[in-house]
Each structure stands twice: as structure tokens, then as C-alpha cells.
Structure 1
Amino acid sequence: MKTTIQIQNLKCGGCAKTITDKLSGLNGINEIRIEEETSSVIFEHENSDVVFVAKDKLRALGYPAIDDENGILQKAKSYVSCASGKFKNN
């Protein structure tokens, strides 16, 4: 199955790198693609339970789904995740 999750706080390739790295470590998620233009995370999975795990991981990184709360803490986490992704690219 393929799932698309539209997220908040996606700013750049650093964010995308962090999201891809962290989601690829989850069991049952494959072929992760990030579309910066639409702030979407797209991935293949075998069962629907992993979608909830992915949403929780995204929220923990500072990239909540579009229908989740996006407070100052989430935004701060996303800046840290973004910087981490940028650092790993270099």
C-alpha cells in the first residue's frame, strides 16, 4: 500500500534528509519519498498500523501531520531536525 502524509514545518532538503533517515529505520516502511513543494511524505507499507507509527515519529521530529497541533515546541523540534539533516548532508 502507498500512503501520503501531508506535514507541517517542512522547510528544505535538510528536513527531508532527516525524515527519510528516521522513517527508513522503521520496520515495514519502504520507498520513502519527500515532496517539498506539497510538504508530503510518501511511502510504501504492508500494513496500516505502521502509518500510525510513522505519524508519531514525524510528530516527534517536529513535523506533525497537517491536521495535528503545531505549537512552538513542534516548530522548535523541526529546526533541530532540519539542522541535523543539513549537517549530515555535508
Structure 2
Amino acid sequence: MRTSIIVQNLKCGGCATTIKNKLTELNNVSDINVNTTDSTVSFIAQNPEDAVAVKNKLRNIGYPSIEEDNGVLSKAKSYVSCATGKLSSNE
């Protein structure tokens, strides 16, 4: 099932790289697409539990969904994730 999540703190290609890298670690999740223009992450999940796992992973790396709290900790995590993504895309 194709699912899309609108996330917070998604700013650039570095963020997108980190999100793709982290989501590919999850089982039963494929065809990951990150759109920095409209802050969406779309993917194919095998079942609803896998979609929840994606949402949780996004929150844990600093990209909570639009309906979740976006406190200082989430913003700080997103900056670290972004920098990591920029570094890994330059390798």
C-alpha cells in the first residue's frame, strides 16, 4: 500500500538522503520518495504496522509528522540528520 506522510523539518537534499537511508533499513518498506518541496515522504508498506514503523523512525531522526509535536529536540535531531545526509551524499 502506498502511503504518504507530511513531515516537519524537511529542508534539503541532505535531509532527504538521511530519510531514504534510514527508511531502507526497515523491512517491508520500499519505493521511498522524499519531496523537499511539499515536505512529503511516500513509500510502499506491506501492512499498516510497517507504515507506523516508518512514522516512528521519521520521528526518531527528527522529522515528526505534521500532526506531532515539533519541539527543540526534534529540530536538533533534524539538523544532525541533515548534516549526516549531506556528508554521506558527498562521499
Query: For the superposition of Structure 1 and Structure 2, which TM-score range results when normalised by the shorter chain?
Result: over 0.9
**Counterpart Cα distance in 1 of 2:10 and 2:20:** 12
1:46: how far off? 1.3
SS at match of 1:30: strand
Amino acid at match of 1:48: P
1:77: how far off? 0.3
Show structure 1 runs of 4+ deviating over 6 A: none
Structure 1: gaps of 5 or more residues: none
| TM-score normalised according to structure 2 size | 0.97
| TM-score normalised according to structure 1 size | 0.98
Counterpart position of 1:49:
49
**Counterpart Cα distance in 2 of 1:59 and 1:47:** 19
SS at match of 1:34: strand
Counterpart position of 1:59:
59
1:45: how far off? 1.4
* Number of aligned residues: 90
**Counterpart Cα distance in 2 of 1:31 and 1:25:** 13
Counterpart position of 1:17:
17
| Deviations 1:45-82, CA, capped at 9 Å, x for gaps | 11110111111100000000000000000000000000
**Counterpart Cα distance in 2 of 1:52 and 1:69:** 16
Structure 2: gaps of 5 or more residues: none
**Counterpart Cα distance in 2 of 1:79 and 1:86:** 11
Counterpart position of 1:80:
80
**Counterpart Cα distance in 2 of 1:42 and 1:58:** 12
SS at match of 1:3: strand
